[in-house]
Structure 1
């Protein structure tokens, strides 16, 4: 076990563990190409929208485990509000349900929407924050696609509303400092909730 303290820590796990039993057949699907040995379970604390301290759980790639622990510890120290940090498996590994409930999460083996390319979430190399208020917006066949579907009120980023991630936001600054890229800076689509490692890292780890 790799620990920083009793509140923020990382655990290795294998296919015989209770942790794997929770994700097997859900976020860790039968066709998952990522070895279990590459994943880590993180325990973090976060301040909810109620202003109280809550426990959070994350499954991510071991490559970003220490980065996430440091980021979430700093967010916690700053009392940065994050409503929920649950494993996507608590939503049946259904990303839409997780995002619609404003859940922040990392690993879920899947493909990028409308493509056959493995999402960086599929490698556990991305993290989404306060997903309802920071949707994924893309034009598909001439029509606007908003994920989650109940986030249409937050598509217009010129509006002022709470929990909005922009380049002045603390989460943005911390993720960028740790070498992540922000989906809100993409040209052809906008994923305001999303932070991921560069493509070069994925190619290096999973050639």
Structure 2
């Protein structure tokens, strides 16, 4: 349920949602992981966001997210509105805590953004590789694609959430606040794709 905030509370909230340049300390954590040796995205184009979010136990947690500077303020606004509405996101940790292993991060239901990589078999940087895509509660909102009659599910432990006709918590739909905020800010939802479904995924339309 959305909470009402006084002016002083709004000002206090502002101090908890902010962007920073990538510090040397943070860069050391990212090197060889999300920021790989072949990374073509300049460090100067990235920002680290400090956020607050509600976890599934209803506790306030600090979140850390690296993104492209072009969407930093958009994400700050989105995550602030989600927080004010009491929207639950289990974890917002850097993918580097999982050695930049997407499967491990998703399987742990971690919401993240930047992780440099090229689209398979191309020299095109992926949306996550450019830091302009965000995955939200991925365990409950998996990526699903059928290839040669075989269904591929990522993360692998999210099979029970593939049937979107089922009613369960943390499911992103067109009625979900997360969907509304991201799409209003110029993002596309992977749940609307036809070649595959990526219900966790929001990417900025540049």
Alignment of 1:62-77 (within 5 A): 62-77=69-84
Q: TM-score, normalised by structure 1?
A: 0.90
Query: Is 2:146 the partner of 1:178?
Result: no
SS in 2 for 1:138: strand
Q: Where do residues 66-145 of structure 1 align in structure 2 (5 Å cutoff)? A: 66-112=73-119, 114-116=120-122, 117-145=124-152
**Distance (Å, rounded) in 2 between the aligned partners of 1:7 and 1:133:** 27
Q: Structure 2: give runs of 5+ residues left out of the alignment.
A: 1-12
The alignment status of 1:147 with 2:146, answered yes or no, reads no
Q: For 1:168 and 1:26, how far apart are their aligned partners in 2? A: 35
Q: Which moved more, 1:115-124 or 1:59-68?
A: 115-124
| Aligned counterpart, 1:169 | 176
Q: What SS does structure 1 have at the residue aligned with 2:70? A: helix
2:19 aligns with 10
Name the count of aligned residue pairs: 193
2:144 is paired with a residue of what secondary structure?
strand
Taking only aligned residues, the RMSD between alpha carbons, in angstroms, comes to 1.2
User: In structure 1, what is the equivalent of residue 54 of structure 2?
Assistant: 47
Q: Separation in 2 of the partners of 1:147 and 1:32?
A: 24
Distance 1:111 1:142, change over 3 A: farther
Secondary structure of 2:160 counterpart: helix
Matches within 5 A, 1:55-66: 55-66=62-73
Q: 2:194 matched to which residue of 1?
A: 187
SS at match of 2:153: strand
- In structure 2, what is the Cα distance between the partners aligned to 1:158 and 1:83? 22
Separation in structure 2 between the aligned mates of residue 163 and residue 11 of structure 1, nearest angstrom: 29
**Mind listing any 5+ residue stretches in structure 1 that lack a counterpart?**
202-207
What's the secondary structure of 2:52's corresponding residue?
strand
Tell me how far apart the structure 2 counterparts of residues 20 and 84 of structure 1 sit (CA, whole Å): 21
Deviations 1:156-191 (A, max 9, x none): 101101000010000000001100000000010000
User: How far has the Cα of 1:5 moved from its partner?
Assistant: 2.7
